Structure 1
Amino acid sequence: MNLPHAISELIKAQNEFDSTAYANCFADHAEVYDEGRTHHGKAAIERWIDKANQEYQATMESVDYDEKEHILSAKTSGNFPGSPILLKYHFQLSDGYIQSLKISG
């Protein structure tokens, strides 16, 4: 599977529970939408993923990637009900960074 560098690095950072490296995959003014909330900017994204890492200890395994739509399907496992689940990660990319990410079931 041929993933853009920012997405590959995001998966690596997630699986290593490295919140700083995860946030560094995003542009300065990026946003993440997850579980009904939007997180704006790298600092807020880092706080969000750090809290999620502590609570869920989720890891990601790539299953499929739609290169035209920039949608990653990933088996996500962790400390949450129904684990593992298949989640879709909808990316907008620009200049080698993630501009936005929406996570859906």
Structure 2
Amino acid sequence: MVVGIYSYYCERCQVLGMLIISVMYCFSESAIVFDEGKNYTSKKEIKNWIEKSSKEYNTVMKPIEFEGDAEKGSLKAEVFGTFPGSPVVLTYNLTFKGKHIESLKIN
């Protein structure tokens, strides 16, 4: 199930509009995201972060490797976009709460 959630998340990160809202269902109500020195601590903040990043950098994520279990996981993905240094390989460290992402830290 964990791999399914992450696969769903990765596929949806490549599309703007209504599908960004679909990504929000992957996050728990108390989710927190850590990215580029900033914390996003509500579903509204996370949604705004996803929309802004996707639109500003035209990001596309290509999953490379996932390791984890029902409590935590680590995804390596190649990320392409209009940002300096593209493409880059990023590591997404996650913790899960049930079927949802509870925390996401991007390195």
* 1:10-35 residue CA offsets vs partner (Å, 9 max, x unmatched): 11110123321122210011000001
Q: What SS does the corresponding residue of 1:91 show, helix, strand or coil?
A: strand
Note the residue ranges of structure 1 that are not aligned, 5 or more in a row: none
From the superposition, tell whether residues 28 and 3 of structure 1 become closer, same or farther in structure 2 (CA, over 3 Å): closer
* 1:62-98 residue CA offsets vs partner (Å, 9 max, x unmatched): 1111225511000000010010000000010121000
Task: Report the count of equivalent residues.
Answer: 103
Q: Matches of 2:66 and 2:3 in 1, distance apart?
A: 10
One-letter amino acid of the counterpart of residue 20, structure 1: I
User: Residue 19 of structure 1 corresponds to which residue in structure 2?
Assistant: 20
From the superposition, tell whether residues 53 and 77 of structure 1 become closer, same or farther in structure 2 (CA, over 3 Å): same
Alignment of 1:42-57 (within 5 A): 42-57=43-58
Alignment of 1:1-80 (within 5 A): 4-17=3-16, 18-67=19-68, 70-80=73-83
| RMSD, aligned CA | 1.5
Note the residue ranges of structure 2 that are not aligned, 5 or more in a row: none
Q: Matches of 1:59 and 1:3 in 2, distance apart?
A: 21
Q: What SS does the corresponding residue of 1:93 show, helix, strand or coil?
A: strand
* 1:31-58 residue CA offsets vs partner (Å, 9 max, x unmatched): 0000100001211100111111110111
Alignment of 1:88-99 (within 5 A): 88-99=91-102
TM-score (ref. length: structure 2): 0.88
Q: What SS does the corresponding residue of 1:81 show, helix, strand or coil?
A: coil
Contact 2:32–2:42 (CA<8 Å) still a contact in 1?
Answer: yes
TM-score (ref. length: structure 1): 0.90
> What's the CA shift for 1:3?
5.5
